[in-house]
Amino acid sequence: MRNGLPIAANTPVLEVFQLGFGYGEVELFQNLGFTLYKGETRVVLGPSGSGKTTLLHLLAGLLALQSGDVHWQGQSIRGLSEEVLARRRLHFTGLIFQHHYLQAELTALENVLVPGYLANQVDKAWGLELLHRVGLLDRAHLLPKALSGGERQRIAVARALYNRPQLLLADEPTGSLDRRNAEKVWELMLCLAQDLGTAVIVATHDEHLVQGLAELRLG
Where does this chain bind ligand ATP (CB under 6 A)?
23, 28, 46, 48-54
d(CA 22, CA 28): 5
Name which of 63 and 80 has its Cβ closer to ligand ATP: 63
Q: Residue 187: CB partners within 8 Å, gap ≥ 6?
A: none
The item of ligand ATP, Mg ion, none sharing an interface with residue 49, based on CB under 5 to 8 Å by kind, is ligand ATP
Asked if 53 is part of the footprint of Mg ion (rule: CB under 5 A), the reply reads yes
Name which of 28 and 102 has its Cβ closer to ligand ATP: 28
Q: Please say whether the beta carbons of 19 and 54 come within 8 A.
A: no
The item of Mg ion, ligand ATP, none sharing an interface with residue 181, based on CB under 5 to 8 Å by kind, is none
d(CA 185, CA 136): 12
Least separation in angstroms between residue 143's CB and Mg ion is: 27
Which run of H or E residues covers position 155? helix 149-161
Q: Residue 31: CB partners within 8 Å, gap ≥ 6?
A: 18, 19, 20, 68
The item of ligand ATP, Mg ion, none sharing an interface with residue 11, based on CB under 5 to 8 Å by kind, is none
Q: Please say whether the beta carbons of 183 and 148 come within 8 A.
A: no
d(CA 149, CA 179): 12
d(CA 5, CA 105): 41
Choose the stretch contacting Mg ion; rule: CB under 5 A; options: 52-60, 156-164, 193-201, 210-218. 52-60
Name which of 142 and 218 has its Cβ closer to ligand ATP: 218
Least separation in angstroms between residue 197's CB and ligand ATP is: 27
Least separation in angstroms between residue 5's CB and ligand ATP is: 35
The item of ligand ATP, Mg ion, none sharing an interface with residue 48, based on CB under 5 to 8 Å by kind, is ligand ATP
d(CA 160, CA 95): 5
Least separation in angstroms between residue 121's CB and ligand ATP is: 32
Choose the stretch contacting Mg ion; rule: CB under 5 A; options: 17-25, 46-54, 69-77, 89-97. 46-54
Output phi, psi for 124, to 5 deg: -60, -35
The item of ligand ATP, Mg ion, none sharing an interface with residue 46, based on CB under 5 to 8 Å by kind, is ligand ATP
Q: Please say whether the beta carbons of 218 and 59 come within 8 A.
A: no
Residues in contact with Mg ion by CB under 5 A are 52-53
